Amino acid sequence: MFNTVPNPIPARMKGLNRAEICDVNFQEFVRGWNGHAQPKPAPDETILDGSALDARGFRELFESQLISRHLDLMARVLRVQNKVFYTIGSSGHEGNAMVARAARHTDPAFLHYRSGGFMAERFRKLPGMDPIMDSALSFAASAEDPASGGRHKVWGSKPLWVLPQTSTIASHLPKALGTAVAIEAGKRLGVGLPIPDDSIAICSFGDASANHASAQTAFNAASWTAYQKLPAPVLYVCEDNGIGISVKTPTGWIGESFRNRPDLDYFFADGLDLASGYGDVLRAVEHCRRTRRPTFLHLRTQRIMGHAGTDFEIEWRSFEELCAVEAGDPLLRSAAIALESGAMSKDEILALYEETRRKCFAAAEDADSRPRIETLEHVMRPLAPYTPDKVQAEATRAPSFDARVKAFGSEDKLPEKQVPKHLAIQINQALHDLFAKYPETLLFGEDVAQKGGVYTVTKGLHKAFGNRRVFNTLLDETMILGMAQGFANMGMLPIPEIQYLAYLHNAIDQLRGEACSLQFFSDDQFRNPMVVRIAGLGYQRGFGGHFHNDNSVTALRDIPGLVVGCASRGDDAAMMLRTLAALAKVDGRVTAFLEPIALYMTKDLYEPGDGQWLTEYPAPDQALVLGEERVYNADATDCVIFSFGNGVPMSLRAARQIEQQHGWKVRVVDLRWLVPLNHAAIAKHAGECDRILVVDEGRFSAGIGEGVITAITEGGFGGKPIRRVVGADTYTPLAGAAFLVIPKDEDIVAAAATL
């Protein structure tokens, strides 16, 4: 492509570090250039004929490229001295600085790890910021790192609207689209956005990542949205370097895959050439901003110096191929542009190159002297913030009377004035109250709008609050949770619904790897407040099998920072929802509300028609405390049964039988909060009772019951008679066979007999 690149590197350099080769290569190229230079252009003159860049813009982009390169070189040198802890570099991708220049610093950016050029250029958008020192602090894992507080090397900045990502492989694409959709939704709702109304969301990723399921679902959802003429201003930037670690992308694959994709507008730009590429980048950014359509920018890049410092490409790539790759270094082309246009002389380029190197190494040495994280408390500080008094005050703050009357239709229809109701109705009433309390609340998922959900739990919300706040999505749990993160990013309170717990496992990384990690990796500068409603657990009759009776909550228990509540009765459900929403609003928490499907319509407890599982609707100023259990027969000390969800009414029925058979007084504890478990409360009840039963409708392995047993044992009461009544390690079969694999009332009674 270039007619000014150096000759292939001689054989004597085959054994050298490839970073050193690239470093030497650049300097020798500049010194050896003998072309004809044009007269030095004025700052506002274009650098070359046909270029959209003026001299000032080119100079700044070139400087950003050099900053990115020298941060990479610095990382390779200082990593072996344990002064730097990250070597995945941006070398060959420095052309992504053009995207940062063409966009605004208020355009939310979700970047992959080869975004050093983008970040260096975006730092120019606000005065007084230092891309070199900020980056050096991150490389050094310094506690003073302004992006993550030293928890990971991330590209991120609160003032520059770069939301930190870790080593993402496409998992950030759904939330980028969600953010784009949320920008438009916020305008329609009249919710005050934290960024300008015409902002776009920017998301960068590699050509290999474009094949990932999370990427494909985001592209499909973007097209699906645009096909319906709904605005979705997301700019997907595919930085195509032709390789993923060591697996090559077939030549032309990205262009063929995306050039004619319906309702995903395709642009190509040469990221190796600032002069020819910038105009195309600018057109893509302006198109996305003007049309509000999802836009795909195919940016040609090169990966030089390997995937990371530990990737010795010479072991698996031919020497000739490496030489060809290094000859395509975009910095060589930028140096050629500077020289050909007369914008810079050889001496100026080399002086700038060495001065940038000096600044990067000086910053790194400075960063190495700064404090690092040294305590567990410091590590975990931003993971799960909890301010109990503020949360409780918010949870018990009732909506205005007028808003409630409007939501429910009349004063006479206020739910606290109605007769006791079952779980599904009380959840529905509580959702109406949350919508009245928080105008920024949105509820969305599969079938939740006009239909009101598979079990009519969201019935009436669409009619009461309209399409803008209650809407159906495509059948894609990954995108539902990606959308939730986007709305949360834009200051709204999303309540996404996952139709069945089994379906969550398709998309759980959106919670584990993305939503719940944001506070941790941004040092609590960015938050994803949301309440994820998940219908699940077993015991449905005449319907189901595994996909509709899934009782596996283990994956949820393993997500750091997540709060999971599971109410077994209607009044608890209403009060729990208020607390979950308050946790999201006050502390930015990601919360999940696990709804036991089989209890949705349950009215009776002991006998048909007794109505003892109906509850009154709690006044809107009542809420639960996080971790607070519900205790039945609190004075009983002969035996305690710990349970949750469907296990609670089973345990109450079993307790009656146990009392009749053995004369024991039985205490039943509804845990209600599954993540985090209240270890202190569990130990307290275990200590006060002579015998212990743990009823867990989940599976034998890795269920909630294991956590309860751990709390009892670590509380010092593991020596007491104790039994666990739990489901089998199997998938749930269809029809009556389902009840062979989950606990039953008689199993609890039988377990008590063994005590």
Q: What is the mean pLDDT of residues 237-264?
A: 94
Q: What is the mean pLDDT of residues 428-454?
A: 97
The CATH architecture to which 630-753 belongs is 3-Layer(aba) Sandwich (3.40)
Residue 344 near residue 17, CB atoms below 8 Å? no
Q: Is the pLDDT of residue 7 over 50?
A: no
| 388-599 classified as CATH 3.40.50.970 | yes
Integer Rg of the chain from CA: 30
Following CA atoms 53, 58, 60, 63 in sequence, which dihedral angle do they give, to the nearest 10 degrees?
Answer: 150
Q: Is the pLDDT of residue 448 over 70?
A: yes
For 661-682, the pLDDT digits (tens) are 999 999 999 999 999 999 999 9
For 681-696, the pLDDT digits (tens) are 999 999 999 999 999 9
Average pLDDT score over the chain:
94
Outline which parts of the chain fall under CATH 3.40.50.920.
630-753
pLDDT of residue 168: 66
By annotation, the residues acting in catalysis are: 548
Can you give the pTM of this predicted structure? 0.95
Q: Is the pLDDT of residue 11 over 50?
A: no
pLDDT of residue 15: 44
User: C-alpha 121: how far from its chain's center?
Assistant: 25
C-alpha span between 201 and 219 (Å, rounded): 14
Lowest mean pLDDT among 172-181, 244-253, 315-324, 510-519: 315-324
pLDDT of residue 4: 38
Q: What is the mean pLDDT of residues 464-480?
A: 96
Q: Is the pLDDT of residue 552 over 90?
A: no
Q: Is the pLDDT of residue 275 over 60?
A: yes
Q: Where residue 569 falls among pLDDT bands split at 50, 70, 90?
A: very high
pLDDT of residue 305: 87
Of the candidates 596, 600, 548, 592, which has an alpha carbon nearest to the alpha carbon of residue 428? Answer: 600
Q: Is the pLDDT of residue 185 over 80?
A: yes
pLDDT of residue 5: 40
Of the candidates 364, 368, 359, 363, which has an alpha carbon nearest to the alpha carbon of residue 66? Answer: 359
Q: Is the pLDDT of residue 643 over 50?
A: yes
Q: What percent of the chain has pLDDT over 90?
A: 86
What's 371's DSSP letter? -
The 3-class SS string of 563-583 reads EEEECCCHHHHHHHHHHHHHH
Q: Is the pLDDT of residue 16 over 70?
A: no
For 137-154, the pLDDT digits (tens) are 999 999 999 999 999 999
Question: Which CATH entry fits the domain spanning 18-370: 3.40.50.970, 1.20.120.1760, 3.40.50.2020, 3.40.50.300?
Answer: 3.40.50.970
Hey, what are 194's tokens?
């934290």
Q: What is the mean pLDDT of residues 81-109?
A: 95
Hey, what are 622's tokens?
């009542």
Q: What is the mean pLDDT of residues 526-543?
A: 91
Report the DSSP pairing between strands 691-699 and 666-670.
Answer: unpaired
pLDDT of residue 167: 66
Outline which parts of the chain fall under CATH 3.40.50.970.
18-370, 388-599
Q: Where residue 424 falls among pLDDT bands split at 50, 70, 90?
A: very high
Q: Where residue 312 falls among pLDDT bands split at 50, 70, 90?
A: confident
The 3-class SS string of 610-650 reads CCCCCECCCCCCCCCCCCCCEEECCCCCCEEEEECCCHHHH
What's 198's DSSP letter? T
Q: What is the mean pLDDT of residues 188-192?
A: 92
Of the candidates 337, 324, 408, which has an alpha carbon nearest to the alpha carbon of residue 98? Answer: 337
Q: What is the mean pLDDT of residues 281-309?
A: 95
C-alpha span between 288 and 265 (Å, rounded): 9
pLDDT of residue 166: 73
Q: Is the pLDDT of residue 9 over 50?
A: no
pLDDT of residue 702: 87
258's enclosing H/E stretch is helix 253-258
Q: Is the pLDDT of residue 213 over 90?
A: yes
Q: What is the mean pLDDT of residues 172-189?
A: 96
For 367-380, the pLDDT digits (tens) are 999 999 999 999 99
Q: Is the pLDDT of residue 728 over 60?
A: yes
What's 465's DSSP letter? H
pLDDT of residue 3: 35
Q: Which residues pair with 722 in a beta bridge?
A: 692
pLDDT of residue 6: 41
